[in-house]
Structure 1
Amino acid sequence: MSSDRAIRWGVVGAGDIARRFGQGLAHVPDARMSAVWSRRASTAEALAGPFGAQACASLDDLLSSDIDAVYIATLHDSHADYTIAALSAGKHVLCEKPATINTAQLDRVLAVARDRKRLFMEAMKPPFYPLYRKLREHLAHDPIGDIGLVRAGCSRTDVPADHATFSFEHMCGALLSLGIYQAFLAVDWLGAPLDVQTIGRLGPTGVDTFASLNCRHEKGIAQLFCGLDLHGRGDALLAAPHGHVTIHETWWNPGRATIRYTDGRVVELDHPFEGGGLNYETAHFCDLLRSGALESPVMTHARSRQMIAMMDAARATLGLKFAGE
């Protein structure tokens, strides 16, 4: 596409994450929200209005409108279907995490993206934050050795009981809502998972409310947790032979990190973020689109596949199977 005009976004879904995406676009050069569709017309109109976007009457109307890319901001159960519809209509797609609920769905999505020659990326925000990029750059020039242990977790008790995160019908739960972040951190530093051992529990709605994972990867070990019934929002640890890194809470919105070297040196990295954070992944996607790329070199298709494979293995151990699986 031409590099001298704004990228026009269509948004599927009109909840909180869609609103945050729209707010983030103010921090992305030459990008704007052009169209919105939601199952409820009132929520689509409420989201579209402040951004000067069109509220579409149907998904087909949105996909046939003059947009370049689609942001999928719905609940987990519909990610794959909406992504495939958008790709089939010739649109590029940035889909909220988890991109799909299992590996089989993701493989179908990637097959359509390849066939239609369209850019597809899972919206996993941490690696695009300035702090995370600065940390990688620092460790490349002043290394602590190969990372061999990743320890990270997120467990919340502030999610209302009637929130969609507890919905079995919408295929949610702690692993797919929160654990997918921890899976990203593990595969980003340690490579593909080789073995996933899981202990956890299911709640009254049938989804997982807590899971603890010990995972063996190509390059090391990951100790991860996620939950909806304990308070454990926190930091992340990256351990190596010559030092370790603490990415301070909340690590998935990284703004500060401490590097401690075995020789006694301590390096503090502090890089606040702007725009709520979603703007960084969106800007990356827009750059890829303008360059004609079909895959992100940061959030690769292989990385998305490794992440969801970890969630598949963990859910299998817990006996959590959704409709159609």
Structure 2
Amino acid sequence: MSDKTIRWSIIGAGVIAHKMADAIQLEADNALISVASKSPEKAEAFAREYAIEADTYESLVEREDVDVIYIATTHNFHADNALMALEHGKHLVIEKPFTVNAEQARRLKDAAEAKSCFLMEAIWTRFLPSMKALREAIRNHTIGEVKVATINFGGIAPEHYRGRLFDPALAGGVTLDMGIYPISMLCYVLGERPASIHATARFSDTGVDEIASYQFVFPSGCIATVNTSFNLLMRQEALFFGDKGYIDYPEFQQSDAFTVKYLKDRTIDREETIRTENADNGFIFQVREAARCLRADLRESPVIPVAETVDIMAIMDEIRRQLPLQYEFEKTGYTKGTQ
């Protein structure tokens, strides 16, 4: 693919689709062409807002004037929506979580490889300049060997999210929706997957995990603890402790800066703030990365390879096995329904 404008369509017309649509239209040399929803009224309203076309799912995947499709439906429909698009040879960017479980993720990986299609999970924080800077600081041993990490990530979800989050039929719960952010962060900045996992949770009346805590031990020896909730006001912070100091990254989804605190003679000797240039709409960076990969004829992004996405889904499978939390539709295969 040349340096031409990358043409996008979106499947799903909810809140997250609007944020991605804004990012596509803000990013140079990218264009939003159409949207599809199982609700024609939602698709038409979305199309009017962005001056694009309204499609059905079937007509969208058959379009020849679209380079890549962004899937923004609820988690439980990602696998089915993606497989339909891949059957038509479409490149895909799929909103996090990629699927509900690792089995579905492996199926998408195999289908994309068979069709030679680009495939990428859209976990927007992974693509932020600040996250890249954090990874470099840790990988360059700025604080020496990282031995302990602690991430707290939670809040009380806005009303327009709560119905989905509490609904097990829509793969609700905090692990898939919010836990994935710190899990993905740890795997990215440490450059490894956990060797052992321990998970606990408090459940809502609807049977999904609303508060969860995970402890990971990584092959390097780093012990990491994650606390997360969509129904509890918590501080958002990531702390990485090494034998030469520690990194304090408060508000890691909103802030473009973190602080490195250097250790000398058992006390903090000096501090350094590392600042990057994030954007008001952080989705811009995942749009930019997908477009870069497509122009370079890549089939996955080195920022989040598909195999790593599958591994992270497997980590969350193990977490849910321990809680335990299995959705009814997982017992019978992929969901077939409306969105």
Interval containing the TM-score (normalised by the shorter chain): over 0.9
Are the aligned partners of 2:135 and 2:189 in contact in 1 as well (CA < 8 Å)? Answer: no
**Cα distance in 1, alignment partners of residues 199 and 274 from structure 2:** 33
State the number of aligned residues. Answer: 322
Are the aligned partners of 2:25 and 2:32 in contact in 1 as well (CA < 8 Å)? Answer: no
Q: Does 1:324 align with 2:323?
A: no
Deviation, 1:189, is 2.8
Stretch of structure 1 that moved more, 159-168 or 259-268: 159-168
Task: Indicate the residue corresponding to 2:53 in structure 1.
Answer: 54
Distance 1:243 1:27, change over 3 A: farther
Unaligned 5+ runs, structure 2: 332-339
2:62 to 64, 70, 73: 64
Task: Indicate the residue corresponding to 1:226 in structure 2.
Answer: 228
SS at match of 1:163: helix
**Cα-to-partner distance string for 1:292-325 (whole Å, 9 max, x where unaligned):** 0011111112221222122111111112111223
Identity of aligned residues (%): 29
Deviation, 1:259, is 0.6
Task: Indicate the residue corresponding to 2:335 in structure 1.
Answer: none
Task: Indicate the residue corresponding to 1:285 in structure 2.
Answer: 290
Stretch of structure 1 that moved more, 65-74 or 19-28: 19-28
**Cα distance in 1, alignment partners of residues 169 and 198 from structure 2:** 26
**Cα distance in 2, alignment partners of residues 91 and 233 from structure 1:** 40
**Cα distance in 2, alignment partners of residues 59 and 164 from structure 1:** 21
SS at match of 2:287: helix
**Cα-to-partner distance string for 1:237-267 (whole Å, 9 max, x where unaligned):** 1222211111121x13441201111131211
Task: Indicate the residue corresponding to 1:177 in structure 2.
Answer: 177
Deviation, 1:279, is 0.7
SS at match of 1:67: coil
Are the aligned partners of 2:154 and 2:229 in contact in 1 as well (CA < 8 Å)? Answer: yes
Task: Indicate the residue corresponding to 1:252 in structure 2.
Answer: 253
SS at match of 2:211: strand
Are the aligned partners of 1:77 and 1:171 in contact in 2 as well (CA < 8 Å)? Answer: yes
Deviation, 1:147, is 2.6
Q: Does 1:300 align with 2:291?
A: no
Are the aligned partners of 1:236 and 1:246 in contact in 2 as well (CA < 8 Å)? Answer: yes
TM-score computed with the length of structure 2 as normaliser: 0.90
Task: Indicate the residue corresponding to 2:337 in structure 1.
Answer: none
Deviation, 1:33, is 0.8
**Cα distance in 2, alignment partners of residues 313 and 138 from structure 1:** 29
Are the aligned partners of 1:129 and 1:254 in contact in 2 as well (CA < 8 Å)? Answer: no
Please tell me the residue identity of whatever aligns with 1:176.
Answer: L
Are the aligned partners of 2:119 and 2:300 in contact in 1 as well (CA < 8 Å)? Answer: yes
TM-score computed with the length of structure 1 as normaliser: 0.94
Task: Indicate the residue corresponding to 2:6 in structure 1.
Answer: 7
Are the aligned partners of 2:8 and 2:34 in contact in 1 as well (CA < 8 Å)? Answer: yes
SS at match of 1:324: helix
Task: Indicate the residue corresponding to 1:268 in structure 2.
Answer: 273
Distance 1:253 1:230, change over 3 A: same
Task: Indicate the residue corresponding to 1:39 in structure 2.
Answer: 38
Deviation, 1:116, is 0.6
Are the aligned partners of 1:150 and 1:185 in contact in 2 as well (CA < 8 Å)? Answer: no
**Cα distance in 2, alignment partners of residues 141 and 311 from structure 1:** 28
**Cα distance in 2, alignment partners of residues 200 and 166 from structure 1:** 14
Stretch of structure 1 that moved more, 288-297 or 304-313: 304-313
Please tell me the residue identity of whatever aligns with 1:63.
Answer: V
Are the aligned partners of 2:154 and 2:228 in contact in 1 as well (CA < 8 Å)? Answer: yes
Q: How does 1:160-171 map to 2 (within 5 A)?
A: 160=159, 162-171=162-171
